């Protein structure tokens, strides 16, 4: 299919003016009309209704338009991935992500992305409190939980294993828990609005939850970095993603609690976008970039 004809159709559909769309592409009115007619012959439908007074989108044209946009977006992304300088990926990309994850893994790699794609600007919404993608008008978002929303499409970035941990100082002041039942005697920190997660030994049935019923939830917060820092300071036991605490575990400022028990929450780190959105070149290259730099296996497992 002639992508030049698709580009003309998309512009004409936006402007509702075939001659003006042709001028934008450097085409004479007669050439633009002929190219559009050729496309309509290829797809077997009238995409635009023409009269001496106005141009309007046909029912078939309205149904075909999002597919035409997607084909053009894929062409731009494919050429950009091959490094063809004639195709410039451009525009402002609105991206929402956990502030904790962004501080550790996204902010440090932004200079390379911006140098690679000088036509792309980023508008970042960084908060550990979830933002609504559709209502917020975001092009893309990062989520670290099981995706169940049927209005979203998702691309898996990495696995997200969660563990219980505490500081050596805290564990020196309290008896180290041996089973999930022992958690009831401990102080805990947990994330606001989080639900109890199942804890199970390998191959065994569920042995408990975190936090357990009637737990001593001394601190509740909505920021993962602050929860990690408070845990290191000795406030209590918390549940954290490995990507957040792997360095603290390595240097000994945090210690894993109940290492024989797994958190069964089926979470992963996803790049998600609304199904209604066309996956434009700017979004596609940013997804590919994050997969390249973070990806599977995730960089925190390679260090």
- The DSSP element (H or E) to which 50 belongs, if any, is strand 48-50
What gap in Å lies between CA 137 and CA 125, rounded to an integer? Answer: 11
75-84, 120-129, 206-215, 226-235: segment of lowest average pLDDT: 75-84
Q: What are phi and psi of 75, to 5 degrees?
A: -60, -45
Does 177 have pLDDT greater than 70? yes
Confidence of residue 298 (pLDDT cuts 50, 70, 90): confident
Torsion, Cα of 131, 137, 139, 142 (10° steps): 0
Collapsed DSSP state (helix, strand, coil) of residue 208: strand
Does 76 have pLDDT greater than 80? no
- Which residue segments constitute the domains of the chain, with CATH numbers given? 3-81 (1.10.10.10), 91-157+268-302 (3.40.190.10), 162-264 (3.40.190.290)
Beta bridge partners of 152: 274
Q: What is the average per-residue pLDDT within 138-143?
A: 88
Q: The sheet that has 187-191: what strands, in order across it? A: 216-221, 187-191, 237-241, 162-166, 255-257
pLDDT above 70 as % of the chain: 88
Q: What are phi and psi of 175, to 5 degrees?
A: -65, 135
What gap in Å lies between CA 217 and CA 225, rounded to an integer? Answer: 18
Collapsed DSSP state (helix, strand, coil) of residue 175: coil
What gap in Å lies between CA 210 and CA 264, rounded to an integer? Answer: 10
The pLDDT assigned to 189 comes to 93
Q: What is the average per-residue pLDDT within 160-171?
A: 94
Does 31 have pLDDT greater than 70? yes
DSSP letters of 212-263? PTT-EEEEEES-HHHHHHHHHTTS-EEEEEHHHHHHHHHHTSSEEESTTEEE
56-65, 88-97, 239-248: segment of lowest average pLDDT: 88-97
More confident residue, 116 or 281: 116
Angle at 106 between CA 101 and CA 110, to 5 degrees: 165
38-42, long-range: CB within 8 Å, 24+ apart, which pairs?
38/2, 38/5, 39/1, 39/2, 39/5, 39/6, 39/8, 39/9, 42/1, 42/2, 42/5
Peptide bond into 211 cis (omega under 30): yes
Q: What is the pLDDT of residues 85-107, one digit of tens each?
A: 445 777 889 899 999 999 999 99
20-34, 115-129, 142-156, 207-221: segment of lowest average pLDDT: 142-156
Q: The sheet that has 206-210: what strands, in order across it? A: 206-210, 197-201, 261-264
């Amino acid at each position: 299919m002639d992508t030049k004809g698709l580009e003309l159709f998309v512009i004409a559909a936006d402007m509702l003016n075939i001659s003006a769309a042709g001028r934008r592409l450097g085409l004479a009115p007669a050439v633009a009309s002929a190219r559009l007619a050729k496309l309509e012959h290829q797809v077997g439908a009238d995409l635009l209704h023409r009269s001496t007074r106005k141009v309007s989108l046909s029912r078939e044209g309205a149904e075909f338009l999002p597919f035409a946009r997607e084909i053009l977006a894929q062409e731009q992304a494919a050429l950009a991935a091959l490094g063809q300088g004639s195709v410039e990926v451009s525009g402002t990309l609105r991206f929402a992500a956990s502030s904790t994850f962004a501080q550790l893994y996204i902010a440090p790699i932004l200079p390379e992305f911006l140098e690679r794609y000088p036509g792309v600007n980023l508008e970042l919404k960084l908060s550990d409190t979830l933002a609504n993608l559709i209502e917020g008008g975001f092009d893309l978002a990062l989520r670290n939980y099981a995706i169940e929303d049927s209005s979203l499409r998702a691309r898996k970035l990495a696995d997200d294993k969660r563990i219980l941990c505490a500081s050596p100082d805290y564990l020196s002041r309290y008896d180290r828990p041996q089973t999930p039942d022992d958690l009831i005697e401990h102080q805990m920190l947990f994330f606001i609005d989080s639900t109890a997660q199942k804890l199970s030994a390998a191959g065994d049935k569920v042995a408990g939850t975190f936090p357990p019923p009637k737990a001593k939830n001394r601190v509740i917060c909505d920021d993962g970095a602050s929860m990690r820092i408070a845990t290191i300071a000795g406030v209590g036991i918390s549940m954290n993603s490995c990507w957040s605490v792997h360095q603290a575990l390595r240097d000994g400022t945090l210690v894993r609690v109940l290492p024989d028990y797994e958190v069964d929450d089926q979470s992963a780190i996803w790049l998600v976008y609304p199904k209604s959105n066309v996956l434009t070149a700017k979004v596609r290259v940013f997804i590919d970039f994050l997969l390249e730099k973070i990806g599977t296996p995730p960089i925190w497992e390679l260090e």
